Amino acid sequence: MDKLLYTGKVKKMWATADPEVLRVEYTDIATAGNGAKKDHFAHKAELNHTISTLIFKYLGQNGVPNHLIKSISERESLVKKCDMFPLEVVTRNVAAGHFSTRYGLGEGKVFPTPVEELFFKSDELDDPLMNESDAIALGILNHEEHETIWKISRQVNQLLSDLFDRAGMQLVDFKLEFGKTHDGQIVLADEFSPDNCRLWDKKTKDHLDKDVYRRDLGDLTTVYEEVLKRLENVEEA
């Protein structure tokens, strides 16, 4: 029986017989507002796991180092064990969400170059915004590691903006998390799903991400199924 290491807001991490390998299990839970809102959606685990696996495989095939080893069931994957940086690495192509509220803007302004933001991952402090020198001062990473996570984030933005564009969606913004493997390599970890990015329909600008849940705009499962269907159609094309 594998040992449960950690229960996150929407995923569980299990140890395996191999000390360098963990098993990640997706759950049907959705949360918003740092856990203030929480609900269950049947099949959300399978949807996010399938979407994230498809995207991590695509990124891996295109040279982005990441933690995925393989998917082992509809809602579980084996991943490389990582020492995680306590950071949320956010890239924004279009004004939305907290960027819009912070600067008193409407949503939809396309930025001339992507906005890059770091947040300190801390539920108690509500994930405060931080800059590179804050992160270095706190001993979270060094300058070279900071360069590496942004180099990978920019590569992810280019690859996924193109992939989602081909699937009829605009990649508005997204959050990545990074870790270090036992041999010191910095890799993309966590997940990439409509839970941690904003996707708008290219034509109608309809929300195809967790904002439908955050803002009570529609049914989360229907929207996530639509995202998966569009991605699978691109993959097959």
Kindly state the smallest distance separating residue 196's Cβ from ligand C5P, in Å: 3
Residue environment code for 126-163, b if the CB has 16+ CB neighbours within 10 A, otherwise e = ebeebebeebeeeebbeeebbebbeebbebbbebbbeb
- Nearest partner of 182 among 51, 82, 92, judged by Cα: 82
Cross-strand bridge partners of residue 32: 37
φ, ψ for residue 125 (rounded to 5)?
A: -95, 0
Q: Which is nearer to ligand C5P, 52 or 196 (CB)?
A: 196
Rg over CA atoms, the chain: 17
- Amino acid (one-letter) located at 34: N
- How is residue 199 written in tokens? 């996707």
Counting residues that bind ligand C5P (by CB under 6 A) gives 13
- Closest CB 228 distance from ligand C5P, rounded Å: 17
Strand partners for 11: 26
Q: Does 197 interact with ligand C5P (rule: CB under 6 A)?
A: yes
Contact 91, 153 (CB under 8 A): yes
Give the nearer residue to ligand C5P in terms of CB position, either 72 or 129: 129
Among 44, 49, 75, 175, binds ligand C5P (CB under 6 A): 175
Strand partners, 201: 169
Which conformational region is residue 63 in: left (phi greater than 0), alpha (psi within -120 to 50 degrees), or beta?
left
Least distance to ligand C5P from the beta carbon of 208, Å? 12
x/- track of binding to ligand C5P for residues 205-234 (CB under 6 A):
-----x------------------------
By CB under 6 A, tell whether 75 contacts ligand C5P: no
Q: Which stretch binds ligand C5P (CB under 6 A): 43-51, 92-100, 147-155, 226-234?
A: 92-100
* CA dist., res. 9 & res. 22, Å (int): 17
Least distance in angstroms from the C-beta of 197 to ligand C5P: 5
The CA-atom distances, in angstroms, between 155 and each of 21, 57, 105 are 26, 14, 27
Show contacts with ligand C5P in window 95-114 (CB under 6 A): 97-99
Which residue is nearest to ligand C5P, using beta carbons?
97
173, 188, 220, 224: residue in contact with ligand C5P (rule CB under 6 A): 173
177 contributes a contact to ligand C5P by CB under 6 A: no
Pick the stretch among 93-101, 146-154, 178-186, 226-234 that binds ligand C5P (CB under 6 A): 93-101
Please tell me whether residue 127 binds ligand C5P under the rule CB under 6 A. yes
Q: Which residues bind ligand C5P (CB under 6 A)?
A: 88, 90, 97-99, 127, 173-175, 196-198, 210
